[in-house]
Structure 1
Amino acid sequence: MTNFIPIFPLGVVVFPGEQLNLHIFEPRYKQLIQDCFSENRSFGIPIVLKNNVSEMGTLVTITEIVQVHEDGKMDIRTRGEKVFRMLELVKTIPDKLYSGAIVHYPTNDERQNSKLTAQVISGIRELHKLIQVTKDFKKTDDELCSYDLAHHAGLSLEEEYELLSLLHESQRLEYLKQHLSKVLPVIAGMESLKERIQLNGHFRELKGFNFDL
């Protein structure tokens, strides 16, 4: 499926199913939000990487305009719907301040892999324990998918974009699993180093070596 959508390029990855709260202050995007909300239309958020608008992004819908300030700025809630690939950027739209794009919605295989999902969830919980972060997922473990987990795995913006570009759930979960397998030993090593530094100068109870063994 191909169609034309207004776009709001941002330096953030929005995953399908994710709720994103935005503060709208630029005139062109205030106009975009007003148009989309009044016409019940969705808009696209392509990712800005290294000052360039990337080809992949997420279609989002406005679920609520929380507040309109006296100066016209807005606080809104949006929800990610589906991944798109930008075919053509339309920088100028007649009578509009914002830009648009012709986009294609690729087939996205979202079939679950319960074994991989469980491994990724376990890895993320271990990561959070190491860095002393408490995060509660809004779904049960059985309901979670890669999109629900991605922001909790410590990915960089570039890595989140790579994950968004993967169109099979098993590929996304494997990507997260491989990332965690690299990150966890490093963080565990840092924690061990921190403990050794903190112990320096303290009285320590150490067991001596037994030469008779």
Structure 2
Amino acid sequence: MSKIVPLFPLPLVVYPSAKYMLHIFEERYKKMIAFVRTLDQEFGIIPVKDSEPARIGSLVKVIRIVKTNEDGSFDIMIEGTRRFVLRSILQHEDGYFMGEADGYEDIGSAAFTDLEDEARHKFEEIVKKAEIKLEDEFWDNLNSAKLKSYKLAEKSGLTLKQQQDLLILQSEGERLFFLIEHLDYINGFLDNREVVRQIVLNDGYINKDTFKQDREEEE
């Protein structure tokens, strides 16, 4: 069933259960956050690339106001709840956008234990080789996550397009296979000390762009 939700277009993909900090400084979005907090309502984050909003986005909830600044801006912590497909967009009188959103769920509920194990093994192998230290909270959340693909994707350094491609997939098996292919590609470059150094300097995030130049030189 469709519902009308406030929208926040951003170059950001938020997976279910993922947490992010947002800096709110535009007046229209200050009003939007005040509105959703008053009603204890979710709002939608729509990934935007090259000024084009995606059709598949994520509903998020405000967990708390983290910091209020002297200039009136503030930082909030949000958490992804579920995905939606955007049917239409209109502009609210306060300047932000509203959207007609339908739920966007996985098709089927099969277990993919073998793929989960394979994806996790490849991820752990890369983290170990690159000497990346991830917080205990990440591993705890991964262990307890029902859909482990989303949690692995948070730290797998996918580009914005890849993140959105994964968000669109409607099967945990498809998402895990997507990640396995991505991690296999990265693993082939981990003997390159300079690449490993770049990974470590990139705050521990494994990013496929790090390897783009190496691949182009090989070709």
TM-score by length of 1: 0.82
Alignment correspondent of 1:146: 149
**Offset, 1:129:** 2.3
Query: Runs of 5+ in structure 1 lacking a partner?
Result: 195-213
Work out the number of aligned pairs and report it: 191
Q: What secondary structure is seen at the aligned counterpart in 1 of 2:8?
A: coil
**Offset, 1:51:** 2.3
Q: Aligned partners of 2:155, 2:67: CA distance in 1, in Å?
A: 28
**Offset, 1:132:** 2.4
**Offset, 1:186:** 2.5
Given that 2:189 and 2:195 are in contact with CA atoms closer than 8 Å, whether structure 1 keeps it comes out as no
Q: Aligned partners of 2:15, 2:142: CA distance in 1, in Å?
A: 18
1:1-213 counterparts in 2 under 5 A?
1-90=1-90, 92-93=91-92, 95-109=93-107, 111-136=110-135, 137-139=138-140, 142-144=143-145, 145-188=148-191, 190-191=192-193
Given that 1:68 and 1:75 are in contact with CA atoms closer than 8 Å, whether structure 2 keeps it comes out as yes
Deviations 1:34-54 (A, max 9, x none): 111111111000001122111
Q: Aligned partners of 1:43, 1:170: CA distance in 2, in Å?
A: 28
Letter of the aligned partner of 2:29 in structure 1? Answer: Y
Deviations 1:14-51 (A, max 9, x none): 00011111111111111110111111111000001122
**Offset, 1:140:** 6.3
Q: What secondary structure is seen at the aligned counterpart in 2 of 1:96?
A: coil
Q: What secondary structure is seen at the aligned counterpart in 1 of 2:9?
A: coil
Q: Aligned partners of 1:38, 1:138: CA distance in 2, in Å?
A: 34
Q: What secondary structure is seen at the aligned counterpart in 1 of 2:117?
A: helix
Query: Runs of 5+ in structure 2 lacking a partner?
Result: 197-219
Q: What secondary structure is seen at the aligned counterpart in 1 of 2:133?
A: coil
Letter of the aligned partner of 1:139 in structure 2? Answer: D
Which moved further from structure 2: 67-76 or 45-54? Answer: 67-76
For residues 9 and 193 of structure 1, do their structure 2 counterparts lie closer, same or farther at Cα, with a shift above 3 Å needed?
Answer: closer
Alignment correspondent of 1:201: none
Q: What secondary structure is seen at the aligned counterpart in 2 of 1:63?
A: strand
Deviations 1:128-148 (A, max 9, x none): 223221114242664341111
Given that 1:118 and 1:141 are in contact with CA atoms closer than 8 Å, whether structure 2 keeps it comes out as no
For residues 112 and 72 of structure 1, do their structure 2 counterparts lie closer, same or farther at Cα, with a shift above 3 Å needed?
Answer: farther
